[in-house]
Structure 1
Amino acid sequence: MINRATYQAAKIVAPLVEEHFATLLEEASAAGEIDLAPQPPARVIEAIVDAAFWVSLRKEEGHSAKISLAFLPPEQSGNALLFKHNLPLSPNILTKIAPGVERSGVYLGVWHDGYDLYVWGTTLTMPNCCLVVDVSDPALLVIKHRRIHGFGKFTNVAVLKGEQIKLINQKKAEKIGECPGILISLLDLAGPSDHNDYLNVMIQLAVSMRAHGRGGAVLVVPQNTREWEHSVIHPITYHLTPSYKGLANLVRKDRSVASEIYLQAALKKEIEYIGGLTAIDGATVITDEYELLAFGVKTSRAHSNEHIQEILFFEPINDVAAVVIHPAKIGGTRHLSAAQFVFDQKDALALVASQDGHFTVFSWSEKLNIVQAQRIDALLL
């Protein structure tokens, strides 16, 4: 039916991704979900990934192509832009059209006529659990799907970088210590009653602070406490009085009195505002109710505590084991400071972005009595 891939990683990952989507759609249907995307067979996945990979290595007028391919028929796309004549799914065609569809939220619709895959147009909307293949950078692809419960980042299934395959293991994180809320949402593990991407601003903040490429750290501390101040150097240059409540007020806003579009746009603006502050040297401190307390903060060991000697480090992907190591082995001063802060302030959370794109979440495990460090950059792409 469809030509076989020449990109070897596409052949390897396709049946694994097919299995993931089969389970995902079966569970969604059993839960009574509607507006579900079609099941993508392995041959289709293989062909789409293959085309996306070869496009990623090409340039149009000096710019690398960045596109998103979504597998769905036109009738499931809402108010779509439809081509009069379908285009073949070929690297040449995709490279030519890439400059016009590289903006975030624009997807090239891919479907088949029973024999060949073709591109039928572009769309801004898609059904639940729809397969998407993103071309993020040369030789870097992300296979993901739209999550069921609205606003928020798509759920990553696999990340391909050249011949390297990172298949996201959604259940692995649940078996190791405690799983922080941000990781639960990124892995799409929360049930419908708990899943509220509109309020899950931590993921959006993580994406924002990673995007500026300068590295940064966010320390999340409990509301209405000053205990965290024992683990920072004084005076704090950018200490806010009163705290900045722009993001917090939006999160608390009654959704019945404002449109969803307005709230999403306002949330994005506030998140970008705070995300920009994380580029300043030092950590940004916010409460677990999203009030901004300070930025450019230098952390230090609390006087009553010892130096941290080990952390439990893992990445929620297949074939990668959790290891107990010294925090200095996973990054520089920023990582060591974040690990020490969580070691001292056990009810806090630390989000750390590296300049090289790595992103790590530090949290305290009561069950294992150790600081956990979860590397989640594969989930943020």
Structure 2
Amino acid sequence: MTSFKYPRDMIAPLKARWYEWARQESEPPALPSDDKLALLLEVAYHASYTADERRGTQFRAVVCSPDLRETEIDHPLRIDPPRSFTPHEIMRLAPAADAAKVMLTVDARGDVPLIWGFCNGADMQLTVSVMAPGKLSVGRNMRSLVALEDGRIFEEGERLGVFQSVIEALAEATDALWDGVKWPGGSWSPQVNYPAHLHDVLSTIRKLGHGGTVLVIPDRECQSLSWRQLVKIKYQCEDDSVWPLLRKSVFQFDEDSPGRGAMEFQYAEDKARRLLERLPGLTAVDGALLLTDRYRVLGFGVEVLAQTELETIFLPDGTSRSVEAYGTRHRSAFRFCAAYPRGAAFVCSQDGSIKCVRNRDGKVTLYE
């Protein structure tokens, strides 16, 4: 007989993961009590089944005090008076916050948790995320530690969500971006900030409604023939203007930089964002968008030529599915990753879902 899991069942694995990950921090933030955690998770879970004008509720909430210092919370916007953290109130407020960028801020210190505003991030605080009915994840910043889906509990590493897939696909470039920068800490994580640009691109493609595919390869292999023979690029480009701008911008956070915080660094980041904003539109052309992990644009209108005898793909829990269960975009992504294991493919469907395809030890694996 199947035994279903519920929000309260997430508490024990969350506490184990939370303090294990916090072990190297000098002052790890304490979690709320078990009863308060259960209340927060159950409210979020029930909110996931609400809808406003047929629009499903999606949100991220960060549990933090409104008394946090400016260095600990990113651009808070306060609501006066605060609202109760209930499924109905979440449903009403969620459309005001793009879940990919903005979080609801929740004060859990009183008897009744209160939504006191919005923010772009809060340093190392507990986050609760809902992206689909019955799908709940908890963690810190954008890192999921424990997830509930289909009545099952997934701990970190067992269920790699889309944003975690983006972080992993860009890990090498993220390390290179911050090489030599002495970051003193703040309201967000370097490991989250850089991949967030790609996640923004994917979220915009989803909002445009036409669907699209983004193929990502390591920048160090941009001249390699190993992937070039697998694709046909209809509109070839060679634009690497984003990387030097982002590389310049991170030095605004270098504690040893004489010009730390200077406007020129912020200008570089703003210009990089504007360049990245043009990428989603390129996926409206038939074919995929091809990027490197340093946001170098190699082309669009890309057709995957790779031919592999691939009959099944795998999910993170080890179960398999027939490739025939998926459409053209997904099957092209499967073939690309099967033939080029170092690549990643992100598929945005017209129904609004975003999926990631990776090659794990020879197994083409799909992450949602």
TM-score by length of 2: 0.70
| CA deviation after TM superposition for structure 1 residue 340, in Å | 2.5
C-alpha RMSD of the superposition: 4.1
| CA deviation after TM superposition for structure 1 residue 295, in Å | 0.4
Read off the aligned partner of 1:48 and give its amino acid letter.
L
Aligned to 1:146: 140
Q: 1:112 aligns with which of 89, 109, 113?
A: 109
Equivalent residues in 2 for 1:54-133, closer than 5 Å: 54-56=46-48, 67-76=59-68, 78=70, 80=76, 87-94=83-90, 104-113=101-110, 116-119=111-114, 121-124=116-119, 127-133=122-128
Q: 2:344 aligns with which of 324, 328, 349?
A: 349
Q: Which moved more, 1:256-265 or 1:48-57?
A: 256-265
Which has the higher Rg, Structure 1 or Structure 2?
1
Distance 2:297 2:222 in 1: 10
Aligned residues: 328
Distance 1:19 1:225, change over 3 A: closer
**Any stretches of 5+ residues in structure 2 without a counterpart?**
180-189, 253-261
Distance 1:342 1:63 in 2: 33
Equivalent residues in 2 for 1:1-381, closer than 5 Å: 12-28=6-22, 30-34=23-27, 36-56=28-48, 67-76=59-68, 78=70, 80=76, 87-94=83-90, 104-113=101-110, 116-119=111-114, 121-124=116-119, 127-136=122-131, 139=133, 142-147=136-141, 154-157=142-145, 164-165=150-151, 167-172=153-158, 182-183=167-168, 196-200=191-195, 201-221=197-217, 222-233=221-232, 236-240=233-237, 243-253=238-248, 255-256=250-251, 262=267, 265-301=270-306, 307-310=308-311, 312-315=313-316, 320-323=317-320, 328-356=323-351, 357-363=353-359, 368=361, 370=362, 372-377=363-368
Distance 1:99 1:239 in 2: 37
Read off the aligned partner of 1:155 and give its amino acid letter.
R
| CA deviation after TM superposition for structure 1 residue 332, in Å | 2.0
Distance 1:59 1:307 in 2: 42
Aligned to 1:151: none
Q: Which moved more, 1:93-102 or 1:128-137?
A: 93-102
Identity fraction in percent? 20
Read off the aligned partner of 2:25 and give its amino acid letter.
G
| CA deviation after TM superposition for structure 1 residue 119, in Å | 1.1
Q: Give the match's secondary structure for 1:294.
A: strand
| CA deviation after TM superposition for structure 1 residue 47, in Å | 1.6
**Any stretches of 5+ residues in structure 1 without a counterpart?**
1-8, 148-153
Maintained 8 Å contact 1:237/1:297 = yes
Distance 1:37 1:231, change over 3 A: same
Distance 1:59 1:333 in 2: 30
| CA deviation after TM superposition for structure 1 residue 277, in Å | 1.7
